[in-house]
Copies of this chain bind each other. A is one copy, B any other.
């Protein structure tokens, strides 16, 4: 889990990778695909519940595994959407505001690469 809570910063503050440590001032912004993400996550939650029911009902293991694979694909799609929005938003803004100085841009890219590695094969 993440503590302390870090609000998704207003776009104009997004280039500050340390915003989480001195936040409070920033107006949170809505994810560009917020409603579609919530809808997808809601569906995934139902799929997980469905798999639990399949296990409860002693359904055939291969059928359960097929459903788990479907959830994995749905989560992959959510992750890629979040990653793309983050790159187009926070990362790009930080770099555009950064011309010449090499200030926050480098930190934002380091953070991005850490996330990419987590999802890489």
Contacts and interface: CB of A to CB of B under 8 A. Distances in A.
Nearest to A51: B41
A28 interface: yes
Given A59-B8, A60-B20, A92 B90 contact: no
Interface residues of A, number: 76
A38 to B, nearest CB: 6
A96 B103 CA distance: 11
A25 interface: no
A98 B98 CA distance: 10
A29 B87 CA distance: 25
B59 A88 contact: no
Nearest to A43: B48
5 contacts: A1-B67, A6-B60, A30-B58, A65-B86, A95-B96
Interface of A: 1-2, 5-9, 20, 28-31, 34, 37-38, 41-42, 44-45, 48-52, 55-69, 71-72, 75-76, 78-80, 82-92, 95-100, 105-106, 109, 111-113, 115-121
